[in-house]
Structure 1
Amino acid sequence: MRNDPASTATAVLARVGGPANVTSVTHCMTRLRLALADPAAADERALRAVPGVLGVVAAGTDWQIVLGPGAVDAVTAAVTTAVTTAPARPASAPAPAPGAGPATDSGAGPDGGTADQEARAAGQGALVKERLRRRDATPFKAALRRVANVFVPLIPALIGCGILAGLNGLLLNAGLLPGLTPALSAIASAFMALIAVFVGVNTAKEFGGTPVLGGAVAAVVVYPGVAKVTAFGVHLAPGQGGVLGALAAAFLATRVEKWCRGRVPGALDVLLTPTVTVLVPGLVTLYGLMYAAGAVATATGTAANWLLTTTGAVAGLVLGALFLPLVMLGLHQALIPLHATLIDQQGYTVLLPLLAMAGAGQVGAALAVYVRLRHDVPLRTTIRSALPAGLLGVGEPLIYGVSLPLGRPFLTACAGGAAGGAFVGFFAMLGTEVGATAIGPSGWALFPLLTGNRGPGAAVAVYGGGLLTGYAVGFAATYLFGFTHRPRTPADA
């Protein structure tokens, strides 16, 4: 039975300190992402127990609640409504402890009795929770999460335009609907042509600047007129540096804007701050960032191709094995700039098909659990409901609902992903690259977007072989080594 989105939203908000404790609400394909003013006010254990919540990834003020595809959209809408209509918490009022009722003096003696002792104990508990959370929120993880926050809102457009690009490619190859393909090409390509602007807007929003100013500076990267600008003795090319240049330009714009806000007199702020914020980062972008980001992008593409052609099987094994832990930590979206850079350079990203093998290992592991634990009806029901999403490349329901709670099956799923990645990487060493023309789907949903240096037919064959390898190894490893003891049967009773 499907959980009511409004009830789920209410339960989630009650366990993160209430609507007033939420400062922003976003979501991706499977996760509700909340920024909390006071993380100590949230109760992670109680949040995990909410029906419909598959998992929680908490790091400082950034909380990700895994709800699964479909459900996340409805719950996010209900949470957004509750947050925007809730009265703000007074700045002087501390956040209530999760599950705490109204404050009362009952039981307090003249020496600061039971109520004061409980308050002090609650305060100590909150401090311990916050220390543990800060220890987990390392600067590196925090930086990756902020980069991910820039790109997560772009995922729906990336998926939609990617699917259309794949459909358009199929029509072109088949020679069908020649009157429609130019229109489909324009619709599918327009977003990618201007993605730098959207990256600039989201970067400024994430780092505390004015979104439209971040977009204005990032737009310099893709403006055709930059071809007339000479930097380091060469003419710039529109789009040089891609999303990396746009990200750096917009981040610089937020720093300049904040510097101006604290120094420009109020009467001149409306004129000078936007002008300086666009001018200074714009010049730095033209005469430094675009060239530098272009060099980094070129090096990224060269390194990826070298890695696959020389150590393809090993590289595929490592990438396939490590991707599920990245998904578990919510850091996988930080790879989007690398995919976008590779697509901009060579028309496809060779990393996405390799990473997609992790999902194949997860599916194989889930099937093995389904077979071995045939008397565990609730778990088998969870697997049946989550498996279709897993086959389409959405792994969180299987991760948080099946393999991670069981422990060993998560590791054996990683083994399946490693085997699939090694399979695809091995063929890259032999000269057959497999790439995806767009970012977003994986699993079976990636087939329409596949291409490579030997055409889509070879890419589909290698990718399909990798999926089958991931399924098989994930299943076998989990069936043989995924359990510490033999599953109980009715004969054991």
Structure 2
Amino acid sequence: MDYKKVAQEILEAVGGRENLSAAAHCATRLRLVLQDESKVDQAALDRMEAVKGTFSTGGQYQVILGTGTVNLVYEALAALAGIREMSTQEVKAAGAKKLNVLQQFVKMLSDIFVPIIPAIVAGGLLMGLNNVLTAKDLLVAGKSLVEAYPQTKDLADMINTFANAAFVFLPVLIGFSAAKRFGGNPFLGAALGMLMVHPALLNGYSYGKVAAPVWNIFGLTIEKVGYQGSVLPVLAASFLLAKIEQFLRRVVPAALDILLTPLLSIFITGLLTFTLVGPVTRLAGNLLTDGLVWLYGSAGFIGGGLFGLVYAPIVITGMHNSFIAVETQLLANMAKTGGTFIFPIAAMSNVAQGAATLAVFFVTRNRKLKGVASAAGISALLGITEPAMFGVNLKLKYPFMAAITGSAIASAYISLYKTLAVALGAAGLPGIISIRPDGIFHYVIGMAISFTVAFSLTLLLARKYETTGKETEETGQGVTL
């Protein structure tokens, strides 16, 4: 491959060097920030053999090239455009400036929660393992594994302790990540999180069940209640902490900064958290959780089907990243919620996108499209749908319509049987390990429905959208049967 030629063609197709503001690359994609995305010659990019797909998200125009190829093309592109090499974080920051207020809010949530997902996933999967050991009738008729084999009781107890840690101390994780995102000291954010779950406070899970102890300070009565498993209170408190710290950095003399700024930041934020911010946001968080649980319980399979229908379009906008905060709240309150219904529906959507893409692989004669569809379809089945959606399904349109139909039907089915997840993870075929034991059977049936409907409907629609071989070979936009 002539990497310099490929870079030159991509540069021309995206509007030339004057339209390119910033560029970086990840493992498989060029990440470009463009002055005006309307200047992109999409047809030219689609004709390029090296380009496996394109999509725009988060203020970045991304060109999928593949592992190894992207590094060499990027080097040539940077030299041709006369731009310095940049990190993906720098390009993200440049792209974020182009986002509207809603997009910036969603990106903020993503920046805070994505780094802590591994801890939440680990805790949730351990919780699922504990459920396997303690669920009746799952593997032994009329008994749980612990009841059938009492020697495993302590093992189950240990696993349960490990599983709960990430949720009991969730404010510490969020405090660290949020303070860093808001421009404050992340370790002060972690300290704030520790303060909010201090063992001297009434455990947040017991709030409302027993009388809360109080502090009586200068006529104020302040409840000594922790925020275990909370999301909104620590987000708001971390934002407040970062802004107070930034203000103090500007006004406190340099000689006293190391002493006074951390002291005043934690004290002022802590006082405001327990008197105002915490109680208000705790109520808001509880209302949000109760509302979602009520909606899921009341709307039933119809609500689940509608959510499955619109999930993929939501992914296109990037707003699905905001679901992480909601799912974290649902998982942290599993005693009330039983788990999260969002993850299983996301899995139905991802499997449907993968099935539709694999159907295109079987019907197309376009070699480039066939190559993209095979890899992208498998990737979507494993939980990563961007290559499938942006590289195949949205371009052809009808596979996308087939996929959201399959997702809607499968989501309605799993919602009918109240299929919930106890952990986050890969929302696709591997997601079975995140599902509550009593919902595993229906989750598998749901995936089968999602795959079958999306795959079959794509094959049927392909006949309606049959195009000439010439159009297919030149643009990759059509399918020849």
Measured against the shorter chain, the TM-score band is: 0.7 to 0.9
**Aligned counterpart in structure 1 of residue 103 of structure 2, from 123, 141, 145:** 141
Change (3 A) 1:183 1:64: farther
Written as runs of structure 1 = structure 2, the 5 A alignment for 1:226-375 is 226-227=201-202, 230=214, 235-240=223-228, 242-346=230-334, 347-373=338-364, 375=365
Secondary structure, counterpart of 1:349 in structure 2:
coil
Contact kept in structure 2, 1:241 and 1:297, CA below 8 Å: no
**Aligned counterpart in structure 1 of residue 403 of structure 2, from 397, 405, 413:** 413
Matched, 1:200 2:188: no
1:165-189 CA-to-partner distances (Å, cap 9, x unmatched) read 3233323443364453344333333
Contact kept in structure 2, 1:313 and 1:421, CA below 8 Å: yes
Change (3 A) 1:134 1:304: closer
375-384 or 442-451, which moves further after superposition?
375-384
Change (3 A) 1:201 1:439: same
Matched, 1:393 2:383: yes
Distance 1:441 1:171 in 2: 22
Secondary structure, counterpart of 1:162 in structure 2:
helix
Deviation at 1:354, TM superposition (A): 2.2
Matched, 1:157 2:119: yes
Q: Which residue of 2 aligns with 1:180?
A: 155
Distance 1:486 1:332 in 2: 33
Change (3 A) 1:326 1:66: farther
* Equivalent residue letter for 1:371: F
Q: Which residue of 2 aligns with 1:91?
A: none
Secondary structure, counterpart of 1:180 in structure 2:
helix
Q: Which residue of 2 aligns with 1:436?
A: 421
Contact kept in structure 2, 1:31 and 1:65, CA below 8 Å: no
Written as runs of structure 1 = structure 2, the 5 A alignment for 1:452-471 is 456-457=437-438, 459-471=439-451
Q: TM-score, normalised by structure 2?
A: 0.72
1:221-246 CA-to-partner distances (Å, cap 9, x unmatched) read 22222227539978554335612211
Aligned-pair RMSD on alpha carbons? Answer: 4.3
Q: Which residue of 1 aligns with 2:473?
A: none
* Equivalent residue letter for 2:352: G
Q: Which residue of 1 aligns with 2:191?
A: 216
Structure 1 unaligned regions, length at least 5 = 84-95, 103-132
Q: TM-score, normalised by structure 1?
A: 0.71
Contact kept in structure 2, 1:417 and 1:470, CA below 8 Å: yes
1:249-284 CA-to-partner distances (Å, cap 9, x unmatched) read 111111111111222222222222111211111111
- Indicate the percent of aligned positions where both proteins have the same amino acid: 26
Distance 1:239 1:219 in 2: 10
Contact kept in structure 1, 2:355 and 2:377, CA below 8 Å: no
Deviation at 1:418, TM superposition (A): 1.8
Deviation at 1:415, TM superposition (A): 2.1
Contact kept in structure 1, 2:373 and 2:392, CA below 8 Å: yes
* Equivalent residue letter for 2:311: F
Deviation at 1:75, TM superposition (A): 11
Secondary structure, counterpart of 2:200 in structure 1:
helix
Distance 2:225 2:285 in 1: 13
Distance 1:256 1:98 in 2: 43
Deviation at 1:58, TM superposition (A): 4.1
Q: Which residue of 2 aligns with 1:99?
A: 80
Change (3 A) 1:241 1:450: closer
* Equivalent residue letter for 2:425: G
* Equivalent residue letter for 1:445: P
Distance 1:75 1:223 in 2: 51
Contact kept in structure 2, 1:204 and 1:211, CA below 8 Å: yes
Q: How many residues align?
A: 415
Q: Which residue of 2 aligns with 1:447?
A: 432
Change (3 A) 1:279 1:344: same
Contact kept in structure 2, 1:31 and 1:64, CA below 8 Å: no
Structure 2 unaligned regions, length at least 5 = 84-94, 135-143, 203-211, 471-479
Change (3 A) 1:212 1:134: closer
Contact kept in structure 2, 1:214 and 1:251, CA below 8 Å: no
Distance 1:220 1:54 in 2: 48
Change (3 A) 1:146 1:466: same
Distance 1:22 1:270 in 2: 37
